[in-house]
Amino acid sequence: MRGAVLYGPRDVRFEERDVPRITKPTDAILRISAACVCGSDLWPYRGIQPIAQPTPMGHEYCGIVEEVGSAVTSVKPGQFVIGSFFASDNTCPHCRFDYQSSCQQRELVSGAQAPQLRVPLADGTLVATSATPSNDLLPSLLTLSDVMGTGWFAADAANVKPGFTVLAVGDGAVGLLGVLSAQQMGAKRIIAMSRNESRQKLAREFGATDIVTERGEEGVARIKELTNGIGADSVLECVGTQESMMQAISSTRPGGHVGYVGVPHGVELDGQELFLAHVHLHGGPAPVRRYLPDLIDLVWNKKINPGKVFDLTLPLDQVAEGYRAMDERRAIKTLLRP
Amino acid sequence: MRGAVLYGPRDVRFEERDVPRITKPTDAILRISAACVCGSDLWPYRGIQPIAQPTPMGHEYCGIVEEVGSAVTSVKPGQFVIGSFFASDNTCPHCRFDYQSSCQQRELVSGAQAPQLRVPLADGTLVATSATPSNDLLPSLLTLSDVMGTGWFAADAANVKPGFTVLAVGDGAVGLLGVLSAQQMGAKRIIAMSRNESRQKLAREFGATDIVTERGEEGVARIKELTNGIGADSVLECVGTQESMMQAISSTRPGGHVGYVGVPHGVELDGQELFLAHVHLHGGPAPVRRYLPDLIDLVWNKKINPGKVFDLTLPLDQVAEGYRAMDERRAIKTLLRP
């Protein structure tokens, strides 16, 4: 089969790869219905996070089970399934506390930008839908594998409650879906930081009530101005840079919550500054598995349409253009059809 | 009157100071019943936190109201009162969210190691007891002004719940009272880190079930060993150094909570490390005012005896020895009688 392989900075190739096979009795093999490019794929694509060797890409996926290992009992061939980007056994102590992305047996799923995929720990990782979805549901179901689950975790970690004032830092797909999540959780006011017209528009569709174009200290001053000098109750940090992290912390009211899901690159937090900010800080790799059943219901019943973040759909063999479009910010997120 | 003044590293003098007077209509003047030396006083005492000029010391206090400004309505002369080390109006937005130590009008109380003290924002800061307490209650009531409220905030910020496994990092008075707080909140297992026999003993009296003497990586390994490799649910960081902070974060299970109240000195948190630790982090100057009414009840009804942390009582004119004993770790905490 042919799939995406990253060779180095801005060098993604669509080339022959081994067909995945069951290697452990807990594995499943999926026929991919839809895959996509993740914002976090851009870190190695841009060379900021170097790779040691040619690397099969893709960790967001949904599809039909083709084969399962002898120990798999919860899914079976023919079912449509979605799983998290981190495989988890869903039975270890961390999983029982609902932190499946810190599972004691966790394994990063990789190679999903391909027609077939091996998923480890299938019983703990995959959730089957009640039936095979129609094509129009595929984009939204695909988002639950990572990007929507991550936006949801950002809002959850930021303790969004009905009536709250929420700020989303970052207008990538995660930030935009953080806005949608906050709206679903009953936020009264949702401020999105964006300078890009199409992203501002989507933020508003997802529930943003205010758009702020300023950044850094000016951005913080604007948030303070919009909140009577108090700061936001909940802030979603969806970028992962020093600037975005400090913007998030400084925009939060004392006692408020920062949920951070942007993978930190070069972020250093000064202890005393954090102490005086008086905020709650929580984040990390989103425990997407925790949210899958509820989010599948919301998509299935057409309560939410997170698939709107895909503003570019390409056949899998044009995966390189999918990366380029996101790298150049011509596209928010690229969906790939095998 | 004569009170304590810090001139420089290890130079505390007991000398003539101006008698405090009402300077604003919201002020109150107290006749101090008992004061003490705070662990945080040791930072400037040791020269780690330099001072610009001779500084009147002391921010933990309780006493009898002598005089109030014209705008004060909630306390009156003759009443016994306790207040937080941060004066707060208790009406601003941050106060209404119960973060009085981030009050928009906050002022650090200072000069309490003296016979008399001016307390700003008296209505918002001071809480009166129902009657004048007997002398045996004074030490415990005094702790509510800072050290006990701070230990309680550490446990609260660390989300201690009934049945939890809790770790206290730091065997100073705050750490020990964090143990007492966790015990009051229903923790099932409380691990205290200490190498000092008298502090270990007090930790056990306050509810510690396990003592760990290892530190750093060995300390973390020991905590993991004691918790079946999982980590603690709630960790109270009561020191404020890089080592203690990392020990706290690394000893917490994914999804667990770190409550940090040790004023950070030279602490830098690596964003990626924190991200992967998957913990909740909350701390800052304790909103002691929030807890005063409930903690006064617990002390008044003899449910808790936090005053046990005072293992040295001196007349106020021996304040310099009070600092020395704590600096040399001969005393956990010094109570000063004017």
**Which of B102, B266, B268 has its CB closest to that of A254?**
B102
- DSSP symbol at B24: S
CB A3 within 8 A of CB A115: yes
* CATH 3.10.180.10, domain B150-283, yes or no: no
B215 CB-contact burial (10 Å; exposed 0-12 / middle 13-18 / buried 19+): middle
C-alpha pair distances (Å), A173 with each of A59, A156, A304, B27: 15, 17, 15, 52
Domain with CATH 3.90.180.10 in chain B: 2-146+287-337
> Which chain B residue is nearest to residue A158, measuring alpha carbons?
B280
Q: Decide if B94 and A266 are in contact by the 8 Å CB cutoff.
A: no
Q: Would you state the structure tokens that stand for residue B42, as one six-digit string?
A: 């040791």
Question: Which segments of chain B belong to CATH 3.40.50.720?
Answer: 150-283
**pLDDT computed for residue A107 by the predictor:** 97
In the prediction, which pLDDT does A291 show?
98
Q: What distance in Å separates residue B257's CA from the closest CA in chain A? A: 9
pLDDT in tens, B33-91: 999 999 999 999 999 989 999 999 999 999 999 999 999 999 999 999 999 999 999 99
The residue of chain A with its CA nearest to that of B246 is A271
DSSP line for B58-120: ---EEEEEEEE-TT--S--TT-EEEE-SEE--S-SHHHHTT-GGG-TT-EE----SSSEEEES
Given a contact cutoff of 8 angstroms between Cβ atoms, the answer to whether A289 and A4 are in contact is no
Distance of residue A17 Cα from the nearest chain B Cα, in angstroms: 31
Q: What percent of chain A has pLDDT over 90?
A: 99
Instruction: For chain A, state the CA radius of gyration.
Output: 19
Q: Taking residues A80-109, report their average pLDDT.
A: 98
Surface of B (8-37) touching A: CB under 8 A? none
Q: Give me the pLDDT at residue A82, please.
A: 98
For the four alpha carbons of B319, B325, B329 and B333, in that order, the dihedral sign comes to negative
Which of A279, A288, A289 is best to mutate for the B interface (most B CBs within 10 A)?
A279
* Cβ of residue A44 closer than 8 Å to a chain B Cβ: no
Q: Which of residues 83-102 of A touch B (CB under 8 A)?
A: 93-94, 97-99, 101-102
How many Å apart are CA B61 and CA A325, to the nearest integer?
A: 63
B98, B99, B268 ranked by CB distance to A268: nearest: B268
Q: Verify whether the Cβ–Cβ distance A285 to B278 is below 8 Å.
A: yes
pLDDT of residue A232: 98
B279 CB neighbours in chain A (<8 A) are: 282
Give the model's pLDDT for residue A172: 95
Q: What is the pLDDT of residue A286?
A: 98
Please answer yes or no on whether A271 and B267 come within 8 Å at the CB atom.
yes
Q: In this structure, which topology does domain A2-146+287-337 adopt according to CATH?
A: Quinone Oxidoreductase; Chain A, domain 1 (3.90.180)
| 3-state secondary structure (DSSP) of residue A235 | strand
The per-residue pLDDT for range A291-310, each reduced to its tens digit, is: 999 999 999 999 999 999 99
pLDDT digits (tens, 9 = 90+) for A235-250: 999 999 999 999 999 9
Q: For residues A49-69, give the mean pLDDT.
A: 96
ipTM: 0.96
* pLDDT tens per residue across span B222-262: 999 999 999 999 999 999 999 999 999 999 999 999 999 99
Q: What is the mean pLDDT of residues A12-31?
A: 98
B97·A245 Cβ contact <8 A: no
The answer to whether residue A280 neighbours chain B at the CB level (below 8 Å) is yes
Tell me whether residues B279 and A274 touch, CB distance under 8 A: no
pLDDT at A136: 97
Cβ–Cβ below 8 Å for A284 and B254: yes
Q: Quick one: average pLDDT of B170-189?
A: 98
